[in-house]
Homo-oligomer: A and B are copies of this chain.
Amino acid sequence: MYLSQCIKRAAQVSGNKPATLFGDRSHTWNKFNDRVQCLASGMKSLGISAGERVAILSLNSDRYLELFFSIPWAGAVSVPINIRLAAPEILFTLNDSETEMLVVDDAFAQMLPALEGKMKTVKKVIFAGDGETPSGCINYEELIAKSEPVEDAERGGEDLAGLFYTGGTTGRSKGVMLSHNNLMSNALNVIPFMKFDETSVYLHVAPMFHLADCASTFSLTMAAGTHTFLPKFDPQETLQVMQDNKVSVCLLVPTMVNMLINFPDINKYDISSLKTILYGASPMPEAVLLRAMELFPNCEFKQGYGMTETSPVMTFLDSKFHVTDGPNSGKLKSAGYPAFGVEILIADENDNELPRGEVGEIIARGPNVMHGYWKMPETTQETLRNGWMHTGDMAYMDEDGFVYIVDRNKDMIISGGENVYSSETEQAVYKHTAVQECAVIGVPHKEWGEQVHAVVVFKSGESASEEELKAHCIELIAGYKCPRSWEIREEPLPMSGAGKILKTELRKPHWDGKGKGVN
């Protein structure tokens, strides 16, 4: 299987129907395919060859989707960059992935001067915005206009399709290597669950670089549906575009659902076309979900659970289990049961399946499991040992195969749909000269699910104000990774016998009775 077959099928089935709706711009699938071919051809003329990396640093748009298909059409590998990263993190991603070509939109063109001269491998920058083309950049539309369609490179199967960077427990972000088969098998897992077909109209409002949204990107295309886009989430604009484009389905992270249901003017919009809301990427507070189910009575709610390393879906909670009474009730606290093509076990430390109801690590196997971490063979081997993906998430399974997550990967904080690896934040805090010890944990937050919280012990005789610590961190890491609250301790942090900081002890007072990490 290969990604290009998605757009070939879309052109067969929906050739004269809209592929993309974005503001005033719309392309049919025939036109979309033509543009993809020209763009791929243009990239090749600029020197991109099979297997090379092309990075995308852009808000959501129809061009983002074109890039997701042009890059593999040219035989190259996509590197979608987290739009919330700080300049040093972006540089790390570009250099670590040895990206040859970078595509930026209006929102990120301003960042180019900060990257200039520090990008080790980027040879060409494409400007995919609508404003003025920055000097030294190649204009996206001009590149398409002057290029001729080209045959698909027919990379596929186990060939690398994308490098998706994810926060790292080892203090640096890791490039998750996903092949064509990885992404295509996820697409086949998603279609039956989402019931995508050629009549579906999907809104990309969650960021397109993230696998949570990507889960639908390839599956909806395979199903020959229509894509519509918002550059980024805003409750009012989301409702407006849902009404204007008769959106039938979208992915929302729980924070977005929360903001929508609290938006005062929600009833002024006709969103009767909306039939399905997929949510995921972080635990959904049950109260928010129940309120949303009340507010959108004609809308089916579905939950997906997964991670970048599994392309991403592992389990699904279907809409029929989003009920509070009847035979299908009682499953709302779960993340659903295994997707059709994915094997899931709740396992002990030797990868043996545990009896139902016992808590163990979620491990997964299937064609959706990543090839590994880019240039990190040891971490790869550890994570994929015995042929299983070790998620680090702890859960139990009930008698009907439903998975109940009781503790997310302890090193990961999910705040407003963004994954924050505590070790990455800790490393930044530790770089402040006054800091002796630091532990970063997630504490409950009504809106974001979790909030990044730092516990700090200063070196003897030294100290720093909260403002100083904040200013220090923001220089090094993305804003969403910086601690929002600080706790200064006099005594040393609690340690395990092996000398590891006991984060469970630190989390306890914040979470008691609040069911940390439970969906």
Contact = CB atoms under 8 A, between A and B. Distances in A.
Contacts of A1: 341, 366-367
Interface in A174-188: 184-185, 187-188
A12 interface: yes
A223 interface: yes
Interface residues of A, number: 34
Contact of A343 (B5, B13, B189, B318): B5
Contact of A401 (B12, B184, B195, B344): B12
B188 A340 contact: yes
A83 B318 CA distance: 40
Given A1-B366, A1-B367, A9 B188 contact: no
A207 interface: no
A222 interface: yes
A13 B400 contact: yes
A16 B401 CA distance: 11
A400 B187 CA distance: 22
A1 B188 CA distance: 13
Contact of A399 (B15, B197, B222, B399): B15
Contact of A192 (B192, B397, B400, B401): B192
A187 to B, nearest CB: 8
A304 interface: no
A247 B401 CA distance: 24
A269 B343 CA distance: 40
A1 B1 CA distance: 14
A69 to B, nearest CB: 15
Nearest to A365: B5
A333 interface: no
A191 interface: yes
A397 B12 CA distance: 9
A343 B8 contact: yes
A399 B340 contact: no
Contacts of A367: 1
Given A191-B192, A191-B340, A340-B188, A9 B366 contact: no
Contacts of A338: 9, 12-13
Interface of A: 1, 5, 8-9, 12-16, 184-185, 187-189, 191-192, 195, 197, 222-224, 318, 337-338, 340-341, 343-344, 366-367, 397, 399-401
29 contacts: A1-B341, A1-B366, A1-B367, A5-B343, A8-B343, A9-B340, A12-B337, A12-B344, A12-B397, A12-B401, A13-B401, A14-B400, A14-B401, A15-B399, A16-B399, A185-B188, A187-B340, A188-B188, A188-B189, A188-B340, A188-B341, A191-B192, A191-B340, A192-B192, A192-B195, A195-B195, A197-B318, A223-B340, A224-B401
Given A5-B343, A223-B340, 18 more contacts: A1-B366, A5-B366, A9-B338, A9-B343, A12-B344, A12-B397, A12-B401, A13-B338, A14-B401, A16-B399, A185-B188, A188-B188, A188-B189, A188-B340, A191-B340, A192-B192, A222-B340, A222-B341
